[in-house]
Structure 1
Amino acid sequence: MKIRVGFGFDVHQLVEGRELWLGGIRLEHEKGLLGHSDADVLIHAICDALLGAANMRDIGYHFPDTAGEFKNIDSKILLKKTVELIATKGYSVGNIDATICAERPKLKPHIPAIQQTLSEVMGVDEDDISIKATTTEKLGFTGREEGISAYATVLITKK
């Protein structure tokens, strides 16, 4: 069996007038993330990690923000397409370890729903998806609640 590891990172600005989507679920919050798609930073980081592990470039290459077909798209669709893309090279998802950096909203109560949603989209066991949440202790753009970032590390396998 061949294994490969990938790393992904994404950040989006928090703005009024947008819904907040993280890990494929909508969260109640006074601000949402600004982006061409639904701006789900967690899913975007996971997509980049999967594509990087398979040596297939990045999310912007496959789903450019200049393409009208991806305007306001649900990022779960992008994640499903990414899993299909890595499968064209014989890879499948082994496990994911991801961290979301946000001051608010508090994410701990939402982690099980995020894991379940991602599990369904990717067709992997919930136990293979680790989601963590942290703050930056009021430091930087995250601490000032100007944006949210996410990091993801993935393992992919080829039989």
Structure 2
Amino acid sequence: MESLSMDAVRVGQGFDAHRFATAGTHRELWVACLRWTDDEARGIEGMAGDSDGDVAVHAVIDAVLSASGLGDIGTLFGVGKTSRGAGMRGDAMLRTVRGYLADNGWRVVNASVVIIGNAPRISGRRDEASAAMSEAMGAPVTVGATTTDGMGFTGKGEGVAAIANAMVVRM
């Protein structure tokens, strides 16, 4: 069996949080590369942010960029309404990151993300979310979810957060 150098395999961690959009803004709710219907969203009108506000995608992006030593989501996509990432959907962002890693000699081995919040309820669409994120990332992405038992901004229903880990390997 061929041994790997210490720099050949790396692990990174990422985090993201977004508050819910202001009522009446009529933004679509996107989490884990999935569009959540009004019924599933339980009255949430999307996420505040320059892109679609997909916390699961953003956390995975930060995890893979951290692992590869290529910065973070702001480094790659910028920040603000006129940034490269403004208006982008999560799946397009993951595909962009996938290409960026390949251009720099890395590929994602796998990633795991936990979505933290009261809504939307992830459990009924967990497999679909994992499949959608895996397709866009070009590697297995496992999606999980939890609540904070009423504590903090996620517990109060003000927004959603996500934390992710990813493994990358030098090509």
TM-score range, shorter chain: over 0.9
Residue of structure 2 equivalent to 1:38: 52
Cα deviations across residues 69-121 of structure 1 (Å, max 9, x unaligned)? Answer: 43221121111111111112211111111100011221101111111111211
Gaps of 5+ in 2: none
| Larger mean Cα displacement after TM superposition, 29-38 or 62-71 | 62-71
**Whole-angstrom CA distance in 2 between matches of 1:148 and 1:18:** 15
Gaps of 5+ in 1: none
Residue of structure 2 equivalent to 1:98: 113
Residue of structure 2 equivalent to 1:130: 142
User: Which has more strand, going by share of residues?
Assistant: 1
**Whole-angstrom CA distance in 2 between matches of 1:71 and 1:146:** 22
Cα distance 1:122–1:72, how it changes in 2: closer, same or farther (>3 A)? same
Cα deviations across residues 2-34 of structure 1 (Å, max 9, x unaligned)? Answer: 100010000000123321101110112121111
Percent same amino acid at aligned positions?
33
Q: 1:150 aligns with which of 162, 165, 169?
A: 162
TM-score, normalised relative to structure 1: 0.92
Q: 2:32 aligns with which of 2, 14, 23?
A: 23
Residue 10 (str. 1) matches residue 22 (str. 2): no
Residue of structure 1 equivalent to 2:86: 71
Q: CA deviation at 1:137?
A: 0.3
**Whole-angstrom CA distance in 2 between matches of 1:65 and 1:136:** 28
Task: Please give the secondary structure, in 2, of the residue aligned with 1:33.
Answer: coil
**Whole-angstrom CA distance in 2 between matches of 1:106 and 1:68:** 30
Cα deviations across residues 43-78 of structure 1 (Å, max 9, x unaligned)? Answer: 000011111111111101111123354322112111
Cα distance 1:107–1:48, how it changes in 2: closer, same or farther (>3 A)? same
**Whole-angstrom CA distance in 1 between matches of 2:10 and 2:87:** 31
| Larger mean Cα displacement after TM superposition, 65-74 or 32-41 | 65-74
**Whole-angstrom CA distance in 2 between matches of 1:49 and 1:100:** 14
Determine which structure has more spread, i.e. the larger CA radius of gyration: 2
| Larger mean Cα displacement after TM superposition, 60-69 or 98-107 | 60-69
Task: Please give the secondary structure, in 2, of the residue aligned with 1:138.
Answer: coil
**Whole-angstrom CA distance in 1 between matches of 2:101 and 2:59:** 15
Cα distance 1:70–1:89, how it changes in 2: closer, same or farther (>3 A)? closer
**Whole-angstrom CA distance in 1 between matches of 2:85 and 2:107:** 24
Give the RMSD, CA atoms, in angstroms.
1.3
Task: Please give the secondary structure, in 2, of the residue aligned with 1:71.
Answer: coil
Q: 1:107 aligns with which of 118, 122, 125?
A: 122
